[in-house]
Structure 1
Amino acid sequence: MTQNFTTRTLDLTTGSREGVFDLTRECARFLQEAAQGRDGLLNVFVPHATAGIAVIETGAGSDEDLLAALKDLLPADDRWRHRHGSPGHGRDHVLPAFVPPHATLPVVAGELALGTWQSVTLVDTNVDNPRRQVRLSFLG
């Protein structure tokens, strides 16, 4: 079986507030071109030390709940040894240990095989960096 590998980088503006940004449509658009109806794997990777990729429900409060849980778990205060940037920015550098910078997802017949309420999201708590890149790679 011949396998193809295709990759693309998304350039995103996340703004100056913490957020959960839905990437599901961008992933689907990429797969229309890259997968062309084939089965395979989609890898979503954010090459930043202060952001992560999560597969969660969005729009029904789960995205806000995730940010609230991260604030409880990783408060933006002066406890962090990593001390450049905004107050509490050190916690942003710990975030990828809890929300990893990647996800690998199944692709069936050219489409993401997500559950009914699942979305692919970028989780960004770093208010100092409003520009992000996300690399989408398809192997199939």
Structure 2
Amino acid sequence: MAGTFTTRTITITTSSTETLHDLTNACSAFLREAAHGHNGLLNIFTRHATSGLAVIETGAGSDDDLLAALRDVLPTDDRSQDHPRSPGHSIARMLPALVPPHATLPVVEGELELGASQSVVLVNTDRDNPERQVRLSFLS
């Protein structure tokens, strides 16, 4: 049986602050349409220099802990080589080195294979651009 490849780009509206946006439901909805109960891989990719993807537990304080840790490692003060109109941006562009812009996850019988407390999240540190595109691709 030949493999199939299906892809779609979704637009996520975040906020004007550093944030995590849960993509788990969007991934599951995409797989209901694309996987048809088959096994395969879901690749998730964001093409933005100031956002990344993570698989973490949400809602138990991990969201805030991750953002606080990123603020410690990537401070938005005068240490960066920023353009004067966008303070903190050059440091924020280092985010994908710590939180990659992609994730590849197993799909079993059409369902995303995550642990009971795991979620797929978009990590966005750009306060100036509240709209992000995320590409979802299923390969079976």
Taking structure 1 as the reference length, what is the TM-score of the superposition? Answer: 0.96
Count of residues in correspondence between the two structures: 140
Taking structure 2 as the reference length, what is the TM-score of the superposition? Answer: 0.96
Report Cα offsets for 1:96-117 as digits up to 9, x if no partner. 0000000000000000011111
For structure 1, the residue ranges without an aligned partner over 5 or more in a row are none
Q: Aligned residue for 1:125? A: 125
Pair 1:86 & 2:86 matched:
yes
**Do the aligned partners of residues 85 and 138 (structure 1) sit closer, same or farther apart at CA in structure 2, a change above 3 Å counting?**
farther
**Do the aligned partners of residues 93 and 85 (structure 1) sit closer, same or farther apart at CA in structure 2, a change above 3 Å counting?**
farther
Q: Aligned residue for 2:43? A: 43
The amino acid of 2:139's aligned partner reads L
Q: Aligned residue for 2:25? A: 25
Q: Aligned residue for 2:34? A: 34
Q: Aligned residue for 2:13? A: 13
For structure 2, the residue ranges without an aligned partner over 5 or more in a row are none
Find the residue that maps to 2:32 and give its secondary structure: helix
Give the 4+ runs in structure 1 shifted more than 6 A: none
User: Cα RMSD over matched residues?
Assistant: 1.0
**Do the aligned partners of residues 39 and 84 (structure 1) sit closer, same or farther apart at CA in structure 2, a change above 3 Å counting?**
farther
The amino acid of 1:78's aligned partner reads D
